[in-house]
Amino acid sequence: MARYLLTRAWQSALTLLMSTIVVFVGVRALPGDPALALAGEDRSPEALEAIRRHYGLDQPLPVQFAQYVERMAQGDFGVSIRTGTPVSSMLTTALPVTVELSVLAILIAAALGVGAGVLAAVRRGRPAEWLANGLALIGLSVPHFWLGLLAILYLSVATGLFPASGFVPILEDPVDNLHHIVLPAVILGTGLAAIIMRQTRSAMLDSLSSDYVRTAKAKGLRPRAVITRHALRNSLIVVVTVVGLQLGGLISGAVVTEQIFGLPGFGKMTIDAVFQRDYPVIQAVVLLTAAAYIVINFFVDLLYSVIDPRIRVTGDPA
Amino acid sequence: MTVLTVPMAETGTASITRRTRVLRRLRRNPLAVVSFVVLALAGVIALLSPWLAPYSVDQTDFARTFAPPGTAGHLLGTDDLGRDVLSRIMLGARASLQVGLLAVATSLVIGVPLGLAAGYFRAWDAVISRFTDLLLAFPFLIMAVGLAAIRGASLGNAAVAIGIAQIPGVIRVVRSDTLRLKSLDFVAAAVVDGASDLWVLARHILPNATSVILVQATVAIPAAILGEAVLSFLGLGIQPPAPSLGTMLATAQQFAARAPWAAVFPGVVIMGLALAFNVFGDALRDALDPKGDRR
């Protein structure tokens, strides 16, 4: 176990270092002088010189990289070119929105996906399975931002059941907060639910035909008990795996969903930054996403080895 | 996945019967037939859309803006500028398929050799795994954001961003199939015979790995089509006035309450294309499954 942990930690650290290099190089690949990009409106030679000195752009590249890593580690992502506010404070207001949206979407997707997957496996060959399979295929194929558009059109604008856009912080008014975020979370969860459903179904089918389930049945355990006790434990692994693998898709999806529902999160901040050519913000967003992805997946792997002891032995999540 | 390998299936004559068996299974699956017909039709329409489309994509008609579907001459209605929705959808679908194929081609060109190398040469495995981890750390949208910042937003950059994001998936399936094939007798026989690594990879492993590559490509194309729609919707992909299903949805969003058809039809087409690919991909995987009628 300790050895597995150490290997994974080392691999994650290496990936983190490499992605930092990629972003560092990417920033230098931006069109034009980086100082010019950082300067925004004030492009006088004195201002550019000051920026070069402040960001160490006059130093050799390895020195620049070391300074860069140091700044990032301290949470100093620079200042937004457009608004003049520090990128770090923009992040502290935007991130909670995205985290709440994503966590809620994962919960909804897990509930829907596991439920439908178990149902499809248990009712094999019956209409319920066909329905669940069909819905999962549609869930995989539907552009969820389009679903969001339709939901706003037919559920918000037409009936007024949900607010069409905007956000209320959870600390201010938890009920109103939920009212604003539940529809976007359902929309974001659809694709994930479809993937979880398909994996759950196939994992369930495997375990329902396995020896240990046959033994449990032979012992005289009631079918319901067999399903809940033996099979559902496996679906926990499925959910954790899918969330780990689909994290990238979830982040991408959150960006679009926020854009459609006007949620002031990480995604909206990202898209606004692209159109305003707000390079410090873009850089922070790209780097932080990579870091978050690496760190979360490290913890997913840990969780995984807690749920499924076999992985600790082989070190290979099959 | 437990792999039951039938050694005979990998030799010359047996692979012909295997192909006929797969085709027969596909023909007998109504879903496979329907999705194939849909895809073939979509392909033909996309190829010929510049000639088939009733109007030119940027032909405006300010006397007939927001014409509802069924209006004479405009089967699917018109948009805010009086442009024909059907014509724009036809050319938009063409762009979607282009991005889909371009992205998947990108991911295969880079991913297949890396997957073969990772599975065949033990020493390369760790290095390629770290490369995969690195790619995975940048979700496609974030990759597209970075590329758009560096090189500007365009169809090509959208396809590249999606393609790069799909490389890890290709590496994973090709690597595991290479590992499986490497352990089979006919590969060992070729090695004993004195065949070079490159020869074994090109002559014995790659041809036998084509079925998993094919399945991976069939599920990657719909993902790429959805990806293109997202990027174009956000303004990071195909740039207006060039028609794309994603940009059509982005403009339709502004007047969706007034002309819902402009927001509904492009989405239906995206979903239809992706669904057809996904259904066909499922059918293909089942047909290729040596365990036969498990599903």
**pLDDT one-digit tens code per residue, A235-255:** 677 778 788 878 888 888 898
Whether A104 is covered by a domain: the verdict is: yes
Contacts of B89 (CB under 8 A, 6+ apart): B76, B243, B245, B248, B265, B266, B269
- Using a CB-CB cut-off of 8 Å, the residues of chain B touching A285 are 142, 145
Mutate to test the interface with B, among A129, A252, A276 (most CBs of B within 10 A): A252
The answer to whether B155 touches B95, Cβ cutoff 8 Å, is yes
* Residue pLDDT, tens place only, A283-310: 888 888 899 889 888 888 888 777 766 6
Residue A186 domain flag: yes
The tokens describing A123, both together, are: 């009712």
Residue A3 belongs to a domain: no
Neighbours of B293 (CB within 10 A): 7
Q: Tell me the pLDDT band of A104, cut-offs 50, 70 and 90.
A: very high
- Asked whether residue A67 is domain-assigned, the answer is no
Closest CA to A251 of A286, A283, A276, A199: A286
- Please tell me the least confidently modeled range out of A76-90, A202-216, B115-129, B152-166: A202-216
Q: Please state the domain count of chain A.
A: 1
**Structure token pair of residue B190:** 């070729």
ipTM above 0.85 for this complex: no
Give A316→chain B minimum CA distance, Å.
13
Give the chain A residue nearest B267 (alpha carbons). A146
Give pLDDT, residue A37: 64
Question: CATH no. for residue B156?
Answer: 1.10.3720.10
Within a domain: A279: yes
| Domain encompassing residue A178 | 94-307
Contacts of B266 in chain A (CB under 8 A): 146
Tell me whether residue A25 is in a domain: no
Domain that holds residue B203: 101-289
Contacts of A140 in chain B (CB under 8 A): 222, 274, 278
* Integer Cα distance of A289 and A11 in angstroms: 17
The pLDDT value recorded for residue B10 is: 47
Question: What is the pLDDT, as a whole number, of residue B9?
Answer: 42
- Asked if A26 lies within 8 A of B146 by C-beta distance, the reply is yes
Residue A19 has pLDDT above 50, yes or no: yes
In a domain, A61, yes or no: no
Q: Which residues pair with A79 in a beta bridge?
A: A86
Torsional sign, CA B158, B164, B165, B167: positive
Residue A158 burial by CB count (10 A; 0-12/13-18/19+): exposed, middle or buried?
A: exposed
Does B126 touch chain A if contact means CB atoms closer than 8 Å? Answer: no
Distance from CA of A259 to the nearest CA of B (A): 8
Note whether residue B83 is domain-resident: no
Query: Cβ contact (<8 Å) for A290 and B142?
Result: yes
Q: Is residue B60 part of a domain?
A: no
- Whether B253 is covered by a domain: the verdict is yes
pTM of the model: 0.84
Residue B101 near chain A (CB below 8 Å): no
In chain B, which among 22-51 make CB contacts under 8 A with chain A? Answer: none
Here the CATH number for the domain that contains residue A112 is: 1.10.3720.10
Cβ pair B271:A256 closer than 8 A: no
User: For residues A173 and A184, what is the distance between their CA atoms, to the nearest angstrom?
Assistant: 18
Nearest chain B Cα distance for residue A213, angstroms: 18
| Cβ–Cβ contact A315 with B under 8 A | no
DSSP count for chain A of H helices, then E strands: 14, 0
- CB contact, 8 Å: A279 with chain B? yes
- Say how many domains are in chain B: 1
- Spell out, as residue ranges, where chain B has pLDDT lower than 50: 1-11, 293-295
Residue B235 CB neighbour total at 10 angstroms: 18
Q: Quick one: tokens of A60?
A: 């050799």
- Mean pLDDT of all residues in A33-43: 67
User: Rounded distance, CA B194 to CA B188, Å?
Assistant: 10
